[in-house]
Amino acid sequence: MSRRLGFFALAFGSGFAVLAIEIAGARLIAPVFGLSVVPWTAVIGVILAALALGSHLGGRLADAGRIPLWRVLVVASLTGALPVLGAGFPWLASEAFGFIPGAVVSALVLFAPPVLCLGAVVPYLVQADTEDLASVGRRAGDISAAATAGSIIGSFVTGFVLLPLMPLPTLLGLTAGALMVMAVASARMLGGRPNTGQTVAAVIGLPILGVLTSGLPSDTLHAEQTLHTSISVTERPWADGRMVRELWQNGGSSSAEYVESGRPAHLYATTSLAMIETRIEEVDHALVLGGAALSLPVALQEAHPGMEIDVVEIDPAVTRLAERYFAFGQQDRPGIRVHHDDARVFLRSGDARYDLVYLDVFDHLLTVPWTMVTEEALGEMRARTSPHGVFMANVLSPLEGDGTAFLTRFRTTLEAVFPASRIYLTDPSTDPGATQNLIVVGAESEAAFGDLDTAWELASVPASGRPLTDAWAPVESLQARVFMEGLRWR
């Protein structure tokens, strides 16, 4: 019985490791490919393909009897260090192969090798656990159930506990070290003599390697993994020589402030402020969806001290960083109330009306969560906008080429919800083929735009296609065309 329990433990551990690699791996490539459906599809598809091929090959290797399971697990452990050593590979893959192929190649190189080996564990254990043909079905089911249970527990523990607890390289290094422990256990149960010195070196060295590669660059003040995102804070000089502190989420700069003044440094923020200041005295109550470092809400309140601002930010860790490193934390700001909630949930949770509803949510360099740009979502934002108020949003898109696919559909959706709408340029000198910040404005009537049409240039991209809806919003594939054409900023 104890031998069977050992088999179940090995199967459980293999399933746990697969999900740890999958979830942590998706976070590893997020700074390059985001966490939208595109990279998740690549990672999940590659993981499943590696498991299937590993199971196929593992059955044949087990029957041949020439390669013991402990050797397979040693290879799994050593290749499990690939994500630790190759964290820069996704950037190379993106440049060499493009957005979608680059995500697939990154998953193939970094995650497929260890998972391929782990896929062989169940066939080996089923063969070792089978004593006669009459019991093969039950025993195969038991081993498979143990592996599946490991995957289930691994998904919850990795996502809810391990990711927030430690840096990604440390987590992946510990996983690789644990696989070497499983190799030793396998040798004891099924026979074999792994080299003791090499095994001890791997069990100790792989986690240490993960810790050593978790160090922060010199310009990074803080970095961590949260339940929602990968975040960091940097301080470095920009092109004009001024020091800027930035909050990064999944590889994208979500907030930037000049260190000496605390004022927003991003062009979209300064342009939005200039637009709002034309009617600032009319904005007594504002709603900002997507708080990040709260640079925009702070600047709005400083421009109009009496303004009451509700900010919806899903990640409490981001707000803590705003308090610690950015202007928001330099003094008490009772007029700014931060709600840690999903934006759609917040919109449905009350009926307060706002003079300004500002949407500023991203899940990568330029991609927005699809749930925030559908006809239903914009309808909920319109319902929260006062009759004389305005809706504004910061979006990123080129103005020509196939990369405008999302913008044209979003414009159709905007026009389906708001009686009057505009899309303004933040910098008319930017190459139309380059990705740039655009300010979207929606209102109940044309009168709401006032002098905006004369002070800021309008984007010439027309509406096209059907509105995005909760039932059909292929936002990720539309925005992926920007990467497929070749992302550039100027």
User: Would you kindly state where each structural domain of the chain is located, as residue ranges?
Assistant: 2-212, 221-485
Tens of pLDDT along the chain (490 residues) come to 578 899 999 999 999 999 999 999 998 898 888 777 788 899 999 999 999 999 999 999 999 999 999 999 999 999 999 998 888 899 899 888 888 899 999 999 999 999 999 999 999 999 999 877 778 898 899 999 999 999 999 999 999 999 888 888 999 999 999 999 999 999 989 887 777 777 777 778 877 877 777 778 899 999 998 988 889 999 999 999 999 999 999 888 999 999 999 999 999 999 999 999 988 788 999 999 999 999 999 999 999 999 999 999 999 999 999 999 999 999 999 999 999 999 999 999 999 999 999 999 988 777 889 999 999 999 999 999 999 999 999 999 999 999 999 999 999 999 999 999 999 999 999 999 999 999 999 999 999 898 888 899 999 999 999 999 999 999 988 988 888 777 788 7
pLDDT for 301: 93
Which stretches does DSSP call E strand in 238-366? 243-249, 252-258, 285-289, 308-312, 336-339, 354-359
Q: How far is 424 from 488, CA to CA, in rounded Å?
A: 20
Contacts of 108 (CB under 8 A, 6+ apart): 46
pLDDT for 119: 97
Q: Please, what sign has the CA dihedral across residues 480, 485, 487, 490?
A: negative
3-state secondary structure of 356: strand
Match domain 2-212 to its CATH number in 1.10.357, 1.20.1250, 1.10.3470, 2.30.110: 1.20.1250
- Do 347 and 325 contact (CB within 8 A), yes or no? no
pLDDT for 355: 97
- From the list 112, 139, 151, 198, the residue with the least C-alpha distance to 20 is 151
- Torsion angle of the four alpha carbons 104, 105, 108, 111, in this order, in degrees rounded to the nearest 10: -80
Q: How far is 164 from 172, CA to CA, in rounded Å?
A: 13
What is the architecture, at CATH level 2, of domain 221-485? 3-Layer(aba) Sandwich (3.40)
